[in-house]
Amino acid sequence: MTNMHFTKMHGLGNSYIYVDMFKQTLDEDKLAPIAVEVADKNKGIGSDGMILVCPSDVAPVKMRVFNNDGSEAKNCGNGLRCVAKFAYEHGYVKEETFQIETLGGLVEATVHVTEGKVKTVTVDMGKPILSRQLIPMLGEDQNEVVAEAFSIEDETFHVTAVSMGNPHAVMFVEDINHATVETVGPKMEKDERFPEWVNVEFVEVVSDKELHFRVWERGSGITQACGTGACAAVVAAILNGHAEKGKEVTVHLLGGDLGITWLENGHVLMTGAAEVICEGVFERK
Ligand SMILES: N[C@@H](CCC[C@H](N)C(=O)O)C(=O)O
C-alpha cells in the first residue's frame, strides 16, 4: 500500500485530483491507472481526472493532465487556473505572473489575490492552432476547418476545428437546452476523422458578447466546464462571424462563467475561478 497525498480542486465544477510532485513521486507506468482509480466516484475520490503539479526545467511549475479514462492530454484550461492557485499558495512561485509548462508548450498565468488567497486566475493560453493537419483532422486539405459539413449516421453538423494545445470540434446550435451532448458527443469524440480523438463543444450564441456552452470531453465525457473548450468556442465564434477579436466574450458553462478574449495579437486570454474542495491521503493498494 502506498499513500498518495492529494488536493481536490475545481474550476467551475471541472474537478481534478491534484498531486504535488514537488513532494512525492509516482511511477510513470502507474500514472494512467492511478488517474482512473482516483477519478472513480464509487471506489476512488471522484473527479474528471488527475493533474500532476511538477517541477519544471523551463518554468516554475509544470502541469500534466490525465483524463478519467487514464489518457494524457496536452492542455487543460481549468487545470491551469487551479495549478496557478496551487503553486502560488504553496509558495512554489512568489510573483503574481509566472509561466506554467504544459505538454503543449508554455503559458503565462496571473493570479488575482485577495487576503493571501487566489480567487481568480487569468491565463494567456497562447495562439490557437487552426491548421487541419495540426488539429489533427482528416479531410480535404484546406488550411482551416470553419463550419465544415460533418455527417454522422444520417445527421449533418457544421464543425469548426480549433486546437488550444488539445483538439476541439465546435458546433453552433439554436438551443443549448436541446444540444445532443450525450449522443453526438461520444460519436464525434472517437470518429476516425479525428485521429487523436477530439473534445466536442456545443455552443449557442446569445450575442457577440455571450455564449452558452456544453461539452463532451475527450477521455472524460460530460463535464461541468472545459477551459480550453471555452477558448476554442470563442475562437470559433469569431471565425464564424458571431463575435469580434479584441472584445471579451462571457461563456456560460454548466459550472459557471469564463471571460475570454481573442486578442488582436493572436493570443487567447481566459479568466475564471479556481477553488480547493478538500485535501487528503488516498490509500493505494
Ligand atoms: N477540462 C479541460 C480539458 C482536459 C483535457 C481534455 N479532455 C483532452 O483530452 O484534451 C479544460 O478545462 O480545458
Residue 23 DSSP SS3: coil
* 1, pLDDT greater than 70: no
- Per-residue pLDDT tens for 78-128? 999 999 999 999 999 999 999 999 999 999 999 999 999 999 999 999 999
CB 48 within 8 A of CB 14: yes
pLDDT at residue 107 in the model: 98
Q: Which residues line ligand 1 (CB under 6 A)?
A: 14, 65, 67, 73, 76-79, 166, 199, 217-220, 223, 226-229
**Residue keyed to cell 493532465:** 65
Closest ligand 1 atom to Cα of 166: 10
Query: Does the pTM of the predicted model rise above 0.90?
Result: yes
User: How close is the Cα of 34 to the center of ligand 1, in Å?
Assistant: 18
111 Cα–ligand 1 center, Å: 21
* Residues flagged as binding site for substrate: 14, 67, 77-78, 166, 199, 217-218, 227-228
Q: What percent of the chain has pLDDT over 90?
A: 97
- ipTM of the complex model: 0.98
> Is pLDDT above 90 for 284?
no
Reply yes or no on whether the pLDDT at 141 is more than 80: no
Q: How far is CA 24 from CA 3, 157, 160, 220, 280, in A?
A: 10, 46, 41, 26, 14
Contact status, residue 189 vs residue 218, Cβ threshold 8 Å = yes
**167: pLDDT strictly greater than 50:** yes
From the alpha carbon of 220, which atom of ligand 1 is closest? Answer: 7
Known catalytic membership, residue 76? yes
CA atoms 269, 106, 226, 231: torsion sign:
positive
Q: Which atom of ligand 1 is nearest to the CA of 14?
A: 1
| Residue from 54, 82, 226, 278 carrying the catalytic annotation | 226
End-to-end alpha carbon distance in the chain: 5
103-112 pLDDT, tens per residue?
Answer: 999 999 999 9
pLDDT for residue 66 is more than 80 = yes
Give the per-residue pLDDT at 142: 78
Per-residue pLDDT of 218-271, as tens digits, reads 999 999 999 999 999 999 999 999 999 999 999 999 999 999 999 999 999 999
